[in-house]
Amino acid sequence: MNKKLAVGVLAIIVVLAIILVIITSFITKYYPITKLDNPWSSNCSSIQEEYNRYLCYVDLAVELKNQDICENIVENSYWRGDCFSFVASAKGEGEICDKVPNGESYKQVCLSDVIYATNNSALCNKVNESELGGLMPSVCLPCWPNCSPRE
């Protein structure tokens, strides 16, 4: 009797293993998993429509907080700059703003966004007010938080 029970249990285990292999095969075929150590190998590059491809790279870069993914956006410097800016804000790292390719004013906007996102006044010394059109982050104002509208 014990031998029959053991054979029955073994048969159930084999059937479950086969089912698991079939399910895993289906999932990996229709829902490929992006490797976190190589995220730009995801399906973003296979997206034909430019807007959606860029959006895919930006979303992935921000989600993984990995500015290297932004390097995949080569045809459009504005999307590339936005990608670096969003990752810089997500990570709270103003140094990433140096990679923004669209000129100093775009780098300054990126830095300002990081300051707003982190409320980190230590970054204020890097802000060039003239490049921001006089729109300094409030945390950088000398009278903050008691500024009057004219100050």
User: Which of the two residues, 43 and 92, has the higher pLDDT score?
Assistant: 92
- Name the DSSP letter for residue 142: T
pLDDT at 16 over 90: no
Domain boundaries, the chain: 39-140
What's the confidence (pLDDT) of residue 75? 86
Please give the Cα distance from 147 to 151 (Å, whole number).
Answer: 6
Question: Which tens digit of pLDDT belongs to each residue from 83-140?
Answer: 999 999 999 999 999 999 988 888 988 998 898 888 888 888 888 777 777 677 777 7
State the sign of the Cα–Cα–Cα–Cα dihedral 145, 148, 149, 151: negative
User: Which of the two residues, 50 and 39, has the higher pLDDT score?
Assistant: 50
Residue 12: CA atoms inside 13 Å, Cβ hemisphere, count? 6
Q: CA separation (Å) from 67 to 6, 126, 134?
A: 55, 20, 28
pLDDT at 58 over 50: yes
